[in-house]
Amino acid sequence: MTDSYDLVVIGAGSGGVRAARMAATYGARVAIVEEFRVGGTCVIRGCVPKKLYVYAARFHDLFDVASSFGWQVDASFDWPTLVANKEREITRLEHAYTANLEKPGVEIIRDRAVVTGPNGVHLVGQDRELTAKYILVATGAHPYIPPIPGAELAITSNEAFDLPALPHSILIEGGGYIAVEFATIFAGLGVNTTIIYRGDCILRTFDDDMRRGLEAGLTDRGIRVIYQTTIKSLAKSGNDISATFSDGVSAPYGAVMFATGRSPNVKGLGLDTAGVKLTAMGAIAVDAYSQSSVPSIYAVGDVTGRAALTPIAIREGGYFAETVFNNNPMAVDHSQIPTAVFSDPEIGVIGLTEAEAATHGDVDVYLARFRPMMNTLSTRTERMILKLITEKDGGKVLGCHILGPGAAEMIQLVAIPMGMGASKADFDRAIALHPSAAEELVTFKAPTYTYRDGQKVGG
Ligand SMILES: Cc1cc2nc3c(=O)[nH]c(=O)nc-3n(C[C@H](O)[C@H](O)[C@H](O)COP(=O)(O)OP(=O)(O)OC[C@H]3O[C@@H](n4cnc5c(N)ncnc54)[C@H](O)[C@@H]3O)c2cc1C
């Protein structure tokens, strides 16, 4: 039996759900195929559970300063409670996503889908064929696992949320945001945590002050960070896992986690049969409107390897529906994306880093480092860092980088004036809100230092 649709979406994650819902709202006959759980990575095993676990971990810092505010706290932590409550919340969200699809009439098919041609999709479990005027591939990505002996002993972010019990110690390989966020989570929950990274500092693409500031914050919380080293092999050692490193040293850990990047979900999808071209990185190659090399096949979200973030997948999915089903071609602007790292300390950034801006022309850098007010009654010495990078002499704001409590919330709002092309003078016109950390962004006077003809001046 063959069923015909205007649109078949493969993958009910952030991008696929938005695209399916909007296309159906515009009157299209839509089916969405999902092999795991509706909601995709973000809801089931990404942003949402991650942030809930970060909240859990942050009680540690609160308890640390509590006595300075007069509180005596005798706290203990129960992992199964957190896991069960997380599961309840993501199930609630899964149902909400399902209802949002069903409302405009999207048919949800629970199966694995394979593309059979420009207009054909095969349902693996049901052994059924679908035809579609358009196919949208929104299959996301999966954790990359280094091909080393014993790799199967390690976990990834997929398993980390549902461990039967917290390990006594964990070794996390990777230097990206997922590695440092999980280090924050495990360390905050009392696990002896080590990060191992092949590079010379975590968060490779971030501004150097954010990278060094976070490194100090992680170390301050007892997290060990080992650089320029990789895991060569893993082996069982009693109840532990013994990791052997590239320098020949071996050590036992209660758990080992790979956070070594994510690869697009293209394997076994039948894309080659249909003639869909991939990029050198193995993602689906698309144009500004998310159209692949096959005109009837589009792709959005992590599988396209553009910016692997939920709001980007959602916007790409929405703009795809606008373009194809509302006769209103819209291309996503990937140039200015606010980004957060929910580590402790937290990071929020947007725009150019200092190193990038220095090659951009003459720029001014405004930098503030201070103890967050929350710490002033305690012995904690950690500094908050706020950095504003502008064109010279009060010109356009090019970048904003914040490390410390509330950084993510602040940077979301900074994204509005920056999207409007605001200048330093526009920031200066805003009246400060006191006492807050964010007021520093509108009270900077002279630049801390500048770059003229690519050379750093002052500072
Ligand atoms: C630990 C972690 C933390 C994260 N934190 C953040 C964050 O704080 N903020 C942020 O913006 N982003 C975060 N992300 C990234 C975010 O989750 C992704 O960018 C987003 O989910 C991508 O959406 P998508 O629609 O492209 O794919 P996904 O949400 O991954 O959805 C793809 C869906 O396709 C299904 N699928 C795959 N192949 C098939 C097939 N052949 N047939 C049927 N179904 C199929 C999958 O089961 C999945 O449900 C995080 C990711 C991880 C792993």
Listed residue (154, 161, 213, 215) closest to 186, CA to CA: 161
With a 6 Å cutoff on the Cβ, whether 14 touches ligand 1 is: yes
With a 6 Å cutoff on the Cβ, whether 48 touches ligand 1 is: no
With a 6 Å cutoff on the Cβ, whether 94 touches ligand 1 is: no
Given ligand 1 and candidates 8, 10, 41, which is best to mutate, with the most ligand atoms within 8 Å of its CB? Answer: 41
Query: Given this model, what pLDDT does residue 5 score?
Result: 98
Listed residue (347, 308, 309, 48) closest to 218, CA to CA: 347
- At position 152, the amino acid (one-letter code) is E
Kindly list the distances between the CA atom of residue 322 and the CA atoms of 9, 100, 406, in Å, as whole numbers in the listed order. Answer: 15, 18, 34
DSSP-based helix, strand, coil % in the chain, nearest 5: 35, 30, 40
Listed residue (440, 445, 455) closest to 401, CA to CA: 440
DSSP secondary structure string for all residues of 321-370: HHHHHSS-------S---EEE-SSS-EEEEE--HHHHTTTSSEEEEEEEE
Quote the CA–CA distance of 107 and 159 in Å, as a whole number: 29
Listed residue (137, 123, 144) closest to 276, CA to CA: 137
Quote the CA–CA distance of 7 and 136 in Å, as a whole number: 7
Give pLDDT < 50 ranges for the chain. Answer: none
Q: Which residues of 387-419 are buried (b: 16+ CB within 10 A; e: fewer)?
A: bbbbbeeeebbbbbbbbbbebbebbeebbebbe
Q: How far is CA 244 from the centre of its chain?
A: 29
CA 182 to ligand 1: nearest atom: 1
With contact defined as beta carbons under 8 Å apart, do 173 and 207 qualify?
no
With contact defined as beta carbons under 8 Å apart, do 135 and 320 qualify?
no
Give the 3-state secondary structure of residue 158: helix
Catalytic residues: 434
With contact defined as beta carbons under 8 Å apart, do 404 and 384 qualify?
yes
**CA max distance for the chain:** 73
With a 6 Å cutoff on the Cβ, whether 113 touches ligand 1 is: yes
Quote the CA–CA distance of 423 and 417 in Å, as a whole number: 8
Crossing angle of helices 14-25 and 310-325, in 10° steps, is 30
Q: Whose CA is nearest to atom 52 of ligand 1?
A: 46
Listed residue (280, 277, 274, 282) closest to 292, CA to CA: 277
Question: Which residue is listed with tokens 């801390």?
Answer: 448
Query: Given this model, what pLDDT does residue 2 score?
Result: 64
Q: Given phi > 0 = left and psi -120 to 50 = alpha, else beta, which region is 269?
A: alpha
Given ligand 1 and candidates 37, 90, 112, 139, which is best to mutate, with the most ligand atoms within 8 Å of its CB? Answer: 139
Residue 289, exposed/middle/buried by CB under 10 A (0-12, 13-18, 19+)? middle
Cα-to-centroid distance, 41 and ligand 1 (Å): 3
| Phi, psi (deg, nearest 5) at residue 432 | -65, 145
Cα-to-centroid distance, 178 and ligand 1 (Å): 13
Instruction: Please give the structure tokens belonging to residue 19.
Output: 């695209």
Query: Given this model, what pLDDT does residue 1 score?
Result: 52
Question: Which residue is listed with tokens 């209802």?
Answer: 99
Question: Which residue is listed with tokens 């002499």?
Answer: 393
| Phi, psi (deg, nearest 5) at residue 398 | -105, -25
Instruction: Please give the structure tokens belonging to residue 328.
Output: 């209103």
Quote the CA–CA distance of 148 and 231 in Å, as a whole number: 8
Sign of CA dihedral 71, 76, 81, 83: positive
Give the H or E element holding residue 128.
strand 128-137
Query: Given this model, what pLDDT does residue 338 score?
Result: 98
Order of all β-strands in the sheet with 397-403:
339-341, 347-351, 397-403, 384-391, 363-370, 449-452, 455-458
With a 6 Å cutoff on the Cβ, whether 306 touches ligand 1 is: no
CB neighbour list of residue 279: distance below 8 Å, 6 or more residues apart? 285, 305
- Tell me the Cα Rg of the chain: 24
Kindly list the distances between the CA atom of residue 95 and the CA atoms of 56, 90, 92, 107, 239, in Å, as whole numbers in the listed order. Answer: 24, 9, 5, 15, 38
